Structure 1
Amino acid sequence: MSAIAFAAMPTSDAEALWNGGVDAYSHRPETMISDGPGHPCRHCLRNIDAGEELYVFAYRPFPDLQPYAETGPVFLHKVPCRRYEAEEVLPPVLTTSPDFIVRGYGENNRIVYGTGAVTPIGDIEAYAGELLSREGIAYVHVRSARNNCYQCRINKKEAPAYGDAGASV
């Protein structure tokens, strides 16, 4: 059993948008039609199929504004989807690129310098586990190696799950 847990966007964040809410910049999400792979849903952690409607919006996966609270564009199925639950399994969206940025953050939600690395998909679990075993690292983000877009969070398995608090859409 893995010592890490992959965590998708909290359902409360997705529901806020599905119910007409605004994103991290106080804008309503834009609706697009997927043209195929390349539109990973941050809630179910699957690609949005060609022809499906999706939202694109500014997402800040941090509880508060501060200098390290990165905000960027992400995608969400426009029709509600089920949150990714197989926490110990590499999510489908992390198999669509040869590598991703894996980076550690402290309890203060700030980047722990020296932890960010472009990581081949086959090494994500091991590198995240190594980071989470270090003193001062509370969680890890997986981000696109090409555009730095947030993909998902990785927690220590024994830590409380990244659930319905702590982020801002």
Structure 2
Amino acid sequence: MQHGAPDAYGRIPERNISDGDGVPCRHCLKNVEAGEPYLVVAYRPFPDLQPYAETGPIFLHARECERAVEVESLPEILASSDYIVRGYGSNDRIVYGSGGVIATDAIAARAEILFERDDIAYVHVRSARNNCYQCRIERG
């Protein structure tokens, strides 16, 4: 999309200039600095369309940036006090009863508890205020 590809709705990304506050790039997982251009795109973090395949806005640096390295710690963009943490099955559907608003410093522990269940394949971390997709935690 940083090269002009359409978003999940087939639209060209919107372009804005960051004020430096609360514009986390979902590709590099770093904040877009004040004065830098960024893209607002519709993103669906699921492989196929289906009733549980939520689509929502995310931000990306307008310039190319390196994809965040997969690590075993939470990304620095998770600066809010709490987030929705919710499990999904291998069929990409919500596993009912797995979701909750969790304090940021308890996200890793909550993911570990969820991964004790055989029916949870991965976990999404989403904004507790707006349900925006933040990142995915893999079983591992």
Do they fold alike, i.e. is TM over 0.5? yes
Residue matched to 2:75: 91
Deviation at 1:26, TM superposition (A): 0.4
Q: Percent identity?
A: 61
Residue matched to 1:32: 16
Q: List runs of 5+ in structure 2 lacking aligned partners.
A: none
Q: Amino acid of the residue matched to residue 42 of structure 1?
A: R
Q: Cα deviations across residues 35-82 of structure 1 (Å, max 9, x unaligned)?
A: 112111101111111111100010000000000000000000011111
Cα pair distance change 1:86/1:68, threshold 3 Å: closer
Work out the CA distance in 2 between the residues paired with 1:133 and 1:32: 42
Greater relative contact order structure (CA < 8 Å, 6+ sep)? 1
**How many aligned positions are there?**
140
Q: Which has the higher helix share?
A: 1
Residue matched to 1:121: 104
The yes-or-no answer on 1:144 pairing with 2:127 is yes
Q: Amino acid of the residue matched to residue 48 of structure 1?
A: V
Does the aligned pair in 2 maintain the 1:36–1:50 contact within 8 Å?
A: yes
Q: List runs of 5+ in structure 1 lacking aligned partners.
A: 1-16, 158-169
Q: Amino acid of the residue matched to residue 52 of structure 1?
A: E
Match of 1:123, SS state, is helix
Match of 2:77, SS state, is helix
Residue matched to 1:59: 43
Work out the CA distance in 2 between the residues paired with 1:90 and 1:150: 14
Deviation at 1:133, TM superposition (A): 1.8
